[in-house]
């Protein structure tokens, strides 16, 4: 080696340490429910609800919000997930009055306001159907880092929509707290939500 | 018009735009100054420089970014371009001379003098230490493969893909580290100044980073379970199964990632040949006896 040898310092320890600290997030609660405090963006949107009213996140302040993207023509995942959430609300008993499930359609072409109203009505009074323009919906999926796209239509013009399957859970201040993944059980959701409700932490500041 | 829409940023970043515009402006000014001084740099150097900058910009600020957020293999391709291809092209083009010419006169006098004039002399030592550390032939490759590994730890990856700030940090860290690492490997010793790394050492670093990427890539593409469920959970952007997505992503880390080392070896060998030729020209008698001092190397 032709370069004169030199003393060099091994001062990369702080860099590595910082990197390790970053790794210490996303702790598991119940199986398939993840703590996402500080990771997912706070609740914020401009959409129209199933009664044709323009709504924003502020309209749901004070309630625990469960946010789910889907569409009414969905044959498997959406009804299963919403049924699971309805079951979880049943298990919560009187506490359910402080929970709202926001169902945001990723298929606004077919999910008109009346369609949406009939659909969410089937799941119970705590379910809200939300619809947006393309721009509103795009802003929303960018914010929550999810995606959707239409599959090719069949010969009858029916098509499926590929979309996210997670449920984001926000506290009364609109801060993201939990993320329920595909295959979660209603018992798991109930346990985690009740724990947060009873600790008073999920509704603090309301 | 629909196609133009694909060229727009999915999530606009003022920081990326600012850095790119400033860099391009500086470089163009440098080219102009050099031409005016009668020392034009020709076609290929600027071409390679702009190509490196353009591919890095494209994977961050076009529709490609959306695909990279919702498909694992596109994510791997994005990181490959940000960490390997883009920075390597930029360093290969030898941009320092041009960029320095592009600076205002005060900036061209060298970092120590600028610091002194700004009364930031105390910063000189820590900056020097930081630079030496980052360019250390042991630390630079560890940081290079360490970052690839770190962002692919499943738990870290999950948090990164749902948190915009972590996602941006990942992209910036990969690009910055790409520049630092390929500067160690591809820049000629004369340009590296006091932190120069010998060519033979570089030839040891390259197989090391190649092997590490093979191990990481092979693991990802061969394990029979899903390591990164986040892509399926948040809605996949491309119509392929999550397992196939993961396997292609692993292969991209495995093969092209490791192949970059071969390109590195070729460039280093070229530097070595050039150095030898220069020595022969400068002192033909001395170069014939092995083990004698090499005056041309002392310049570095």
Among B90-94, B114-118, B188-192, B231-235, the range of highest mean pLDDT: B90-94
Mean pLDDT over B263-288 rounds to 84
pLDDT of residue B285: 59
What are the pLDDT digits (tens) for B212-264?
999 999 999 999 999 999 999 998 888 899 999 999 999 999 999 889 999 99
Question: Under 8 Å CB-to-CB from A21, ≥6 apart: which residues?
Answer: none
Domain ranges of chain A: 26-198
Asked whether the predicted pLDDT for residue A197 surpasses 90, the reply is no
Of B45 and A186, more confident = B45
pLDDT of residue A201: 53
pLDDT of residue A9: 38
CB proximity under 8 Å: B 47-76 to A = 66, 69-70
Mean pLDDT over B151-160 rounds to 95
User: Which CATH superfamily, name and number, covers A26-198?
Assistant: Glutaredoxin (3.40.30.10)
Question: Counting beta carbons within 10 angstroms of the beta carbon of residue B2, is it exposed (0 to 12), middle (13 to 18) or buried (19 or more)?
Answer: exposed
Q: Are A165 and A81 in contact (CB under 8 A)?
A: yes
What is the rounded distance in angstroms from the CA atom of residue A161 to the CA atom of residue A146?
13
Roughly how many angstroms between the first and final C-alpha of chain B, as a whole number? 52
What is the rounded distance in angstroms from the CA atom of residue A110 to the CA atom of residue A129?
13
The minimal CB distance from A145 to the residues B146, B162, B197 is found for B162
pLDDT of residue B171: 97
What is the rounded distance in angstroms from the CA atom of residue B188 to the CA atom of residue B144?
20
Measure the CA dihedral B255/B228/B71/B232, to 10°. Answer: 150
Residues A24-54: b if buried by 16+ CB within 10 A, e if exposed = ebbeebbebbbbbeebbbebebebbbbeeee
Q: Which residues of A fall below an 8 Å CB-CB distance to B?
A: 1-3, 6, 8-12, 15-16, 19, 22-23, 25-26, 34, 36, 38-41, 69, 142, 145-149, 151, 162-166, 179, 181-182
Asked whether the predicted pLDDT for residue B287 surpasses 70, the reply is no
pLDDT of residue A33: 84
**Tokens of residue B152, six digits:** 């692919």
Q: Are A99 and A169 in contact (CB under 8 A)?
A: no
Going by pLDDT thresholds of 50, 70 and 90, the confidence category of residue B45 is: very high
Q: ipTM, 2 decimals? A: 0.82
pLDDT of residue B284: 58
Locus of tokens 């460039």: B267
Among A35-39, A157-161, B182-186, the range of highest mean pLDDT: B182-186
Question: H or E segment at B20?
Answer: helix B14-36
Asked whether the predicted pLDDT for residue A85 surpasses 80, the reply is yes
As a whole number, the mean pLDDT across chain B is: 90
Give how far the C-alpha of residue B242 lies from the chain's centroid of Cα atoms, to the nearest Å: 29
Q: Does A166 contact B234 at a Cβ distance shorter than 8 Å?
A: yes
Mean pLDDT over A62-84 rounds to 92
Mean pLDDT over A93-119 rounds to 94
**How many CA atoms lie within 13 Å of B221's alpha carbon, on the beta-carbon side?**
17
Report which of B94, B114, B89 is spatially closest to residue B34, judged by C-alpha positions: B94
What are the pLDDT digits (tens) for A5-55?
333 433 444 444 444 444 444 444 556 788 899 999 999 999 999 999 999
What is the rounded distance in angstroms from the CA atom of residue B77 to the CA atom of residue B86?
12
């Amino acid at each position: 080696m032709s370069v004169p040898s030199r003393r060099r310092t091994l001062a990369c320890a702080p860099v590595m340490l910082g990197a390790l600290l970053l790794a210490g997030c996303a702790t598991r609660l119940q199986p398939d429910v993840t703590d996402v405090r500080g990771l997912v963006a706070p609740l914020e949107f401009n959409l129209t609800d199933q009664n044709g009213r323009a709504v924003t996140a502020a309209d749901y302040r004070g309630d625990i919000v469960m946010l789910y993207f889907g569409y009414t023509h969905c044959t498997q995942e959406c009804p299963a997930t919403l049924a699971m959430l309805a079951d979880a609300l049943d298990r919560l008993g009187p506490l359910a009055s402080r929970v709202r499930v926001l169902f945001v359609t990723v298929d606004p072409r077919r999910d008109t306001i009346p369609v949406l109203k009939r659909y969410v009505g089937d799941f119970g009074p705590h379910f809200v159907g939300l619809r947006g323009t393309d721009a509103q919906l795009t802003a929303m999926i960018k914010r929550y880092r999810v995606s959707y796209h239409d599959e090719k239509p069949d010969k009858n013009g029916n098509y499926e929509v590929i979309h996210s399957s997670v449920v984001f859970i926000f506290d009364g201040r609109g801060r993201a707290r939990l993320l329920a993944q595909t295959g979660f059980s209603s018992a798991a959701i109930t346990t985690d939500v009740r724990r947060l409700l009873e600790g008073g932490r999920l509704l603090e500041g309301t | 018009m629909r196609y133009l829409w694909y060229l727009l940023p999915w999530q606009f970043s003022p920081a990326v735009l600012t850095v790119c515009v400033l860099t391009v402006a500086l470089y163009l000014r440098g080219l102009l100054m050099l031409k005016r001084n009668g020392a034009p740099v020709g076609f290929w150097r600027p071409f390679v420089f702009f190509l490196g900058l353009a591919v890095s910009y494209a994977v961050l600020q076009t529709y490609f970014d959306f695909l990279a957020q919702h498909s694992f293999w596109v994510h791997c391709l994005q990181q490959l371009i940000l960490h390997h291809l883009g920075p390597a092209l930029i360093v290969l083009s030898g941009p320092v001379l041009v960029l320095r010419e592009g600076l205002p006169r005060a900036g061209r006098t060298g970092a120590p003098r600028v610091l002194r004039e700004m009364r930031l002399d105390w910063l000189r030592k820590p900056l020097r230490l930081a630079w030496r550390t980052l360019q250390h032939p042991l630390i630079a490759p560890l940081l290079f493969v360490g970052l690839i590994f770190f962002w692919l730890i499943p738990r870290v990856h999950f948090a990164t893909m749902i948190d915009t700030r972590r996602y941006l940090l990942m992209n910036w860290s990969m690009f910055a580290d790409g520049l630092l690492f390929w500067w160690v490997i591809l820049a000629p010793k004369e340009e590296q100044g006091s932190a120069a790394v010998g060519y033979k050492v570089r030839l040891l670093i390259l197989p090391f980073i190649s092997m590490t990427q093979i191990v990481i890539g092979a693991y990802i593409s061969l394990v029979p379970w899903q390591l990164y469920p986040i892509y399926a959970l948040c809605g996949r952007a491309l119509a392929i199964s999550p397992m196939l997505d993961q396997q292609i992503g692993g292969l991209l880390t495995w093969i092209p990632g490791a192949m970059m080392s071969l390109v590195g070896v070729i460039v280093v060998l070229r530097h070595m040949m050039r150095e030898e030729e220069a020595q022969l020209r400068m002192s033909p008698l001395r170069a014939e006896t092995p083990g004698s001092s090499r005056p041309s190397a002392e310049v570095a």
